[in-house]
Amino acid sequence: MSKGFASNYRIVLLASGILVSFIGLGARLICLHVVDRGELMQYVIKARRQIIVEHARRGDILDVRGGVLATSRTLMEVGVDPQSLRAIDEAKWPQLAELLGLPVAELRKILTTKSKKVDPVKSAGTALLAAVGPSAVTPAARPSAEDINGIFDLSRAMEKSPANSEKTEAAEDEVSLDEEPDANGLRLIRYAKLSPHVDESTYDKVMALGIKGVYGTRIYSRAYPHNQLASHVIGYVNKAGVPAAGIENYADFYLRGQNGWREGERDGKGREAAQFRTREVPASDGYSVTLSLDMMVQHIVEEELEFLAKKYQPQKATIIVSDPRTGHILALANYPTFNLSEYGKADPASMRNIAVADQYEPGSVFKIVAAAGALENGLVTPGTRFDCSIEKIEYRGSVRSLPGEDHHFDHPLTVAEIIARSSNRGAAQMGMLLGEKKFYEYVKAFGFGGRTGFPVGGEVGGTLAPPEKWDGLTITRMPMGHSVAVTPMQMHMGMSVVASGGLLLRPQIIREIRDASGEVVYRFGTVSKQRAFSERTAATMAKLLMGVASKDGTAPLAAIPGFEVAGKTGTTQKLVPTVDSKGRTVLRYSEKHHVASFVGFFPASRPQVAISVIVDDADAHAPGGIAYGSGIAAPSFKRIGEQLIQYLDIKPAYETPARGPGLLALEGGRR
Amino acid sequence: MSSTRDSSAEKPRVRFTLNPGTIIAVCAFSLTILGLTILFSASASLKQDPYSYLSKQIVGAVVAAGLCFVTSRLNLDYLRRYAWVVGGISLVLLALVLIPHVGIAVKGSKRWLGYGAARLQVSEFAKLAMVFCLAHYLALNQTRIGELKRGYLYPLGIIGAFAALVMREPDLGTAALMVAVGVMLLFLAGAKWRYVLPTIASVGLIFAMTVMLMPNRLRRFTAFLDVEGNKQGGTYQLYQSLAAFAAGGVDGAGLGQGRQQINFLPEAHTDFIFAVVGEELGLWFTLGVVALFAIIFVAGLLHLRRAPNLFQFLLVTGCLLLICLQAIINLGVVTGVFPTKGMSLPFISAGLSNLLLMGLLVGIILNTQRTWGRVAIPRQARSLEEVLA
C-alpha cells in the first residue's frame, strides 16, 4: 500500500485506527438514531410538548341600563426565571422593586433564590403529575376544556401562567421548579411570582427596564367597580377563580366562556414555537348578563338601608323594589352588607341574602290573603262588617279564642277598615269564613310555602304547615300572619299579586344574556306561575290597601301626596328564646323585639313599582321602644317611593286606564 | 515529473478520470453544499436575519474555492523554501492573538485577529503551518530520524511551540489536535517506538493534569460520563444533541422541521451542527456524512502511494489528518463519545477560518494530484497492462 517513505505497518496501524473510528462513529449513530431512540424521545416529548390555555374573558354583569356591576380587568402577572438573570441587570433591581411595589430586600430574596429543597414525597407526586400532563393529551383522547385546565394547572412547569385553581396554588407555592432535582435534592426554580397583578402601563415600564428573565403573563381579574352595591345579588368570584355566590355563580354557565388552547411545541427557552402548532382552539369569551337591577334604584335603596341602620341599628333589614307587572327586580338590598372588592374581609353573616334566605312571621301584611280570598269567593264585600270586639267565636262546633287587638275598635269594622286599621280579629273572622282548606289554598296561591324561584342567595321556601297539622287556634292566627313564616321575597311577590292584577309571577333578576358581540342570546321574560284571583278582586284589594296609607289607616307616613299608595304594614313580635318557670328555654313571642315591615306598591290603579321594607329588631332605638311597621318601615317606603317617582318618571294615576295595566304589560313581555 | 505526465497524455483518455483527487474534491463539495443547506435550515427560526449565517458561509465557500484553486496551482517545492518563514509568521500571529486589544476575545477565549466582521482564527492556519514546517524538517532530517535530539526532540519542539501558543488562548481542543497530528507525522516518518510511546504517555499526563487543575474543565470532562445525570449542568448541550439524533430517527424530521436548534441546542450553527443534520435528515444522511469523511481518508491513502518524496508525503498526510481527525473529534463530541470540546465540523460548521483552511487543505491535495503523476512503484497488474500496451 505504501511506498518507502513510511513503513507499511505504521501506515496500516494509523489508517486502521482512523477507519475503526469512522466505523465506531457509524455504529454510535445507529445507536442514537434507532436503538436508544425511545428513551431519548421521552425526554424530547416532555421538553417540547406543550399546551397553552388561552383564558376566556369572563363576561360582564350589567344593570338594566348597561352600567357595569362586575367586569374582568386585564392585568399582568409578573414573574421571574431566576436562572436567566444577568449580573449587569442588578443595578436595575431597585427600579423594578419600586414599580412592583415590593421592598428591595424582598425582591432581592426572590431573585437570588435559585433553587428549592423539595421533599421527596411531594416532588414525586408533582413529578408524576407533570409526567402525566403532557402525555395525557393525545389526539385520540381529546380533552374537554376542563381537563385541559387541570393538566395545565398541574404541569405548571410547562407553562408560566397564573394558576386558576386552588390545588395549584397550594402545590406550587407560587414558584415552579425544574422537573428533576439535582444530587442534593434541590430543584432549580424556573419561575417565581413577583407580583400577582400589575396594570398594563406599569407592566410596559417593567419591560422597558429590559431585565432578562423578568416577564409577565396576561390574566383576567374580576373587578366590582361599585364595591358593596347589590353585593348580595351579584356575588363574587373567589381568588381561586370559582364563582362563589350570587349571579356570578348562578349565571356562571354564561359568564365563564370557554377557555381556548393551543397545542404545540415550545423551544428551548420555553417559548411557544408557533410554526409547530398542531391545534388551536380560540377562547370564546363569556356572555354578559344584564340584570333587571337598576343601579340607581339599588343605590337609593342602599342609602335608605344605611339610613335605617344608622338611625335604628336593627339586627337586619331588607328592601326589595320590583316592577310588579313583570316580576323584574329593580333593587334588592340587605343590611348588613359587604364590599365585593374585599369579600375576603367580610363577616360571613353579612354575605347572607336575607331577602330570600331568612324567614320571619309576616304579621299583618299577611291579612291581604284572607281578605282577597273572602272577596274573591263573594263571602264579603268591602262594606261587610265584622264585630272586632269579641274575644271568642264559635267555629265548626267549638269556641275559639280570637287574637288580641292592638287598638280598641268600638264599632263593627268593614272589610276596608279591617285592612286599613289592621284588625287581627277581623282578619281571623275572614279566614274562618273561608275555612281552613280554602284559606290554605289562597295562602298557596299567593306563593307562600314554596320557593319564589329567585335564583340567587340560597332561597328557602318559608314555613307553612298543611291544614291537617293545624291546631285549633291556627285558623284564628294565620290570617293575621302568625303560625306561618315567609321570606321577604315571598311577601314581596305576594303583595305583587295584588299589584299585577291577580297573577303570581316569578321574581326575575336577569333580564337578558348577550354574547361577546352584543347579540341577545336569551331574554328572560315574565313568568306567570298562576292566577291567584281575578283582576276585579285585585282592583278591589288595591283600593282597600290604599286605605292603609291614608290618614285613617295604620300607615299615613307611607302616603305620597298626589299618588295612590297601596300597601300594608306589619309589626310582628319576634320569637325569642326565654327561660320559662320550669327553667327550660322556650321560644316566646317577645314584647321587646319586633319585625317592622311595610309592603306596598303604587300607583294603586296602575302599579309601577312594588316596594318592601322589612326591618328586623329596631326596637331599641325606635320611638316608644317598639318598632312598628307604620313608624319605621312606612316612612322608608315613602322616601324610596318619592325618589323613584323622579327617577322612573312615575305619573300620578288619577286618569285610570280602562284595562289593568298589569295585563297589558304581561302580554308584551311574555314569551 | 513532466515525463510521467507526457506518457499519460499519450493515451487517449478522458481528462477527468476518477482519481483520488477528484473523489476528495467531490466529497468536499458535497459536504459544503450539505453544510450550506443545513445552515440555512437551522437559521430559519432565528429572530434576526435568517440569511445572515447563510450569506456569510456562501461568501466563505466561494473564497475557499478560490483559495483551493490557487493552492492547487502553486509549486509546493518552491514554497517549501519558505517553510520556516511561514512557520515564523504563524507563530508571531499566534502570539499577537494573545496580546490584549490586538486579539479579539469571544467568550473568554482570545482566538481571532482582524477588524470588525472580517476576522480570522489564526490557530486554524497555524495548524497547516505546523504541518508544513514539520514535513519540511522531517524530510530534511530523514536520515537522522533515529537520533533522539535531531530526529525526535527538535520536531517535538516545533509541535510544542505551536501547541503551547494555541493552548494559551485557551483552545485546548485545537492544541490537542495539533499535538495528535504532529506526533502521528513523527510516527509515520519513522520515529522510534521508544520515543513515541513515552511522548504519548507524557502528553496524556500533561493533558490530564491540566484538566484536573481547572475545576470547570474537570466537571465538563467528567460530566460526559453521565450525560443523563448532569443534564441541567455540564451536559445540557450534549444531552440536547443526543436528543436531536433520536428526534430525527431514521428518516429525519425534514429540512426546516428541526426543533433542537431553537434554543435547545447551543452552538447549533457551529460545533453542534451535526446534531441538526441528525434531526432534520435522519440516519442515512448522518451515516452519509461519516462515509464521505471516510471516503476522503481512503481516497487520500490511495493517493499517498504516489507521493514522490517524504516532504510531500508528510504534507498530504498532514492535510488528510487535519480534515479527518477534526471530523472524528467533532462527530465524537456531538454523539457523546468524547468529552465536549469546541471544534467545528470541517466543511459544514459555520465559520470562515475553518472553511478557508479546508480550501487550503483540499487545494494542496489537488495540487499533488496534479503533480504526482503515476504510482511510483507500479503494481503487477499495472505493469502487465503496460506490457500488453
Question: pLDDT digit string (tens) for A7-64?
Answer: 788 889 999 999 999 999 999 999 889 888 888 888 888 888 888 888 888 999 999 9
Q: Which residues of B touch A33 (CB under 8 A)?
A: 245-246, 248-250, 278, 282-283, 286
Tell me whether residues B335 and A33 touch, CB distance under 8 A. no
Average pLDDT over chain A reads 82
Q: Which residues of B touch A268 (CB under 8 A)?
A: 240, 260, 262-265
Which pLDDT score, from 0 to 100, does residue A100 have? 83
A521 touches chain B (CB under 8 A): no
Residue A162 has pLDDT above 50, yes or no: no
CA-based nearest distance B328→chain A, Å: 7
CA-based nearest distance A76→chain B, Å: 25
Q: Which residues of B touch A188 (CB under 8 A)?
A: 232
Q: Which of A129-138, B45-54, B135-144, B158-167 has the lowest mean pLDDT?
A: A129-138
Distance CA B258, CA A609 (A): 70
Candidates A220, A230, A221, A223; CA nearest to A63 is: A230
A32 touches chain B (CB under 8 A): yes
* Residue B124: half-sphere exposure toward Cβ, Cα within 13 Å: 23
Q: Which residues of B touch A276 (CB under 8 A)?
A: 259
DSSP letter at A284? B
A525-563 pLDDT, tens digit per residue, is 888 999 999 999 999 999 999 999 888 888 899 999 889
Distance CA A24, CA A29 (A): 9
CA-based nearest distance B307→chain A, Å: 8
Select from A6, A18, A32 the Cβ nearest to the Cβ of B324.
Answer: A18
Q: Which residues of A touch B231 (CB under 8 A)?
A: 180
Q: Could you tell me the fold of the domain covering A295-667? A: Beta-lactamase (3.40.710)
DSSP string for residues in A554-616: S-GGG--TTS--EEEEEEEEEEEEEE-TTS-EEEEEEEEEEEEEEEEEESTTS--EEEEEEEE
Average pLDDT over chain B reads 83
- Residue keyed to cell 396576561: A218
Q: Which residues of B touch A269 (CB under 8 A)?
A: 263
Residue A648 main-chain phi, psi, to 5 deg: -90, 0
Residue B58 has pLDDT above 60, yes or no: yes
Q: Which residues of B touch A157 (CB under 8 A)?
A: none
Which pLDDT score, from 0 to 100, does residue A127 have? 39
Residue B6 has pLDDT above 70, yes or no: no
**A3, A5, A12, best to mutate vs chain B, most B CBs in 10 Å:** A5
B140-197 pLDDT, tens digit per residue, is 988 888 888 888 899 999 999 999 999 888 888 888 899 999 999 999 988 888 888 9
CA-based nearest distance B330→chain A, Å: 11
SS3 state of residue A213: coil
Which pLDDT score, from 0 to 100, does residue B64 have? 95
B130 versus A125: which is more confidently predicted? B130
The stretch A146-174 carries a mean pLDDT of 37
Residue A648 has pLDDT above 50, yes or no: yes
B170 versus A476: which is more confidently predicted? A476
Distance CA A147, CA A139 (A): 14
| Cα–Cα separations (whole angstroms), residue B346 to A557, B56, B361 | 102, 16, 11
Distance CA A478, CA A336 (A): 29
Q: Which of A381-385, A467-471, B31-35, B213-217 has the lowest mean pLDDT?
A: B213-217
Candidates A440, A449, A413; CA nearest to A429 is: A413
Which pLDDT score, from 0 to 100, does residue B382 have? 54
pLDDT band (50, 70, 90) for residue A303: very high
Type of residue found at B223? A
A42 touches chain B (CB under 8 A): no
Candidates A507, A495, A494; CA nearest to A459 is: A507
Tell me whether residues B188 and A271 touch, CB distance under 8 A. no
Q: Which CATH number fits domain A52-291: 3.90.1310.10, 1.10.3720.10, 3.20.20.80, 3.20.20.70?
A: 3.90.1310.10
Residue A492 has pLDDT above 90, yes or no: yes
Q: Which residues of B touch A25 (CB under 8 A)?
A: 290, 328, 331-332, 335, 337
| Cα–Cα separations (whole angstroms), residue B190 to A124, B83, B311, B318 | 62, 21, 13, 15
Task: Give the residues across from A173 on adjacent strands.
Answer: none
Tell me whether residues A40 and B246 touch, CB distance under 8 A. yes
Select from B190, B305, B336 the Cβ nearest to the Cβ of A7.
Answer: B190
Residue A130 has pLDDT above 50, yes or no: no
Q: Which residues of B touch A2 (CB under 8 A)?
A: 304-305
Select from A11, A28, A41 the Cβ nearest to the Cβ of B247.
Answer: A41
Candidates B92, B117, B114; CA nearest to B103 is: B114
Candidates A171, A127, A132; CA nearest to A51 is: A132
A124 touches chain B (CB under 8 A): no
Task: Give the residues across from A577 on adjacent strands.
Answer: A587
Q: Which of A139-143, A431-435, B87-91 has the lowest mean pLDDT?
A: A139-143
The stretch A488-500 carries a mean pLDDT of 94
A235 Ramachandran zone, left/alpha/beta (phi>0; psi -120 to 50): left
Tell me whether residues A19 and B298 touch, CB distance under 8 A. yes
Q: Which residues of A touch B242 (CB under 8 A)?
A: 32, 36, 40
Tell me whether residues A30 and B283 touch, CB distance under 8 A. yes
Which pLDDT score, from 0 to 100, does residue B326 have? 94
pLDDT band (50, 70, 90) for residue A163: very low
Q: Which residues of A touch B328 (CB under 8 A)?
A: 18, 21-22, 25
CA-based nearest distance A87→chain B, Å: 16
Select from A10, A19, A48 the Cβ nearest to the Cβ of B188.
Answer: A10
Residue B135 has pLDDT above 90, yes or no: yes
* Percentage with pLDDT > 90 across chain B: 40
Tell me whether residues A268 and B262 touch, CB distance under 8 A. yes
A405-433 pLDDT, tens digit per residue, is 877 787 889 999 999 998 999 999 999 99
Which pLDDT score, from 0 to 100, does residue B318 have? 95
Distance CA B160, CA B94 (A): 13
B350 versus B262: which is more confidently predicted? B350
B336-360 pLDDT, tens digit per residue, is 888 777 788 999 998 889 999 999 9
Tell me whether residues B293 and A22 touch, CB distance under 8 A. yes
Select from A11, A267, A275 the Cβ nearest to the Cβ of B263.
Answer: A267
Distance CA A250, CA A356 (A): 15
Which pLDDT score, from 0 to 100, does residue A165 have? 34
Q: Which residues of A touch B263 (CB under 8 A)?
A: 267-269, 271
Which pLDDT score, from 0 to 100, does residue A592 have? 85
CB A609 within 8 A of CB A661: no
Q: How many CB pairs under 8 A join A and B?
A: 135
Tell me whether residues B332 and A48 touch, CB distance under 8 A. no
Which pLDDT score, from 0 to 100, does residue A398 have? 87
The stretch B126-145 carries a mean pLDDT of 92
Burial A568-587 (b: 16+ CB within 10 A, else e): bbbbbbbbeeeeeeeeeeee
